[in-house]
Amino acid sequence: MKKIKFTLNNKEVEVNLSPGMRLLDVLRDHFHLTGTKEGCGEGECGACSVLINGRVTNSCCVPLGNVQGKSVMTIEGYTKTKRYEILKEAFHFEGGSQCGICTPGMILAAESLLSLNPHPTEQEIRIGLSGNLCRCTGYNMIIKAVQLAAKLGEGLW
Partner 1 sequence: MVKHIIPNTLLETLEALNSSSYHIMAGGTDLMIQKRNSAGTVPKFSKNVLYIANLKELDFIRFDEKTCLSHIGAATKLEDIHTHEKVPPLLKDIIGDIGGPGIRHSGTLGGNIANASPAGDGLVGLYLLDAEIKITSLNDERIIPIKKFIKGVRFVDLKDNEIITEIIIPSCPFTNYKWVKVGGRKADSISKVSFAGLYKINNGLVEDIRFAFGSVATTVARNVELENSLKNKSIPAIIDELPRILEECDKIIAPISDQRSNKEYRRKVALNIVENFIKELKEF
Question: Which positions touch partner 1 (CB under 8 A)?
Answer: 1-2, 4, 18-22, 25, 29, 38, 41-44, 46, 49, 52, 55-58, 60-63, 65-66, 68-70, 109, 112-113, 127-128, 130-132
Task: Give the separation between CA 152 and CA 156, rounded to whole angstroms.
Answer: 9
Nearer to partner 1, 93 or 115 (CB): 115
Beta carbons within 10 angstroms of residue 117's beta carbon: 14
CB of 51 to partner 1, least distance (A): 9
Gyration radius of the chain's alpha carbons: 15
Nearer to partner 1, 93 or 124 (CB): 124
Closest CA to 54 of 134, 109, 133: 109
CB of 130 to partner 1, least distance (A): 3
Nearer to partner 1, 54 or 154 (CB): 54
| In contact, 20 and 63? CB cutoff 8 Å | yes
CB of 73 to partner 1, least distance (A): 13
Task: Give the separation between CA 142 and CA 111, rounded to whole angstroms.
Answer: 13
CB of 123 to partner 1, least distance (A): 11
Nearer to partner 1, 38 or 85 (CB): 38
**Residue 12 has what DSSP assignment?**
E
Q: Residue type at 19? A: P
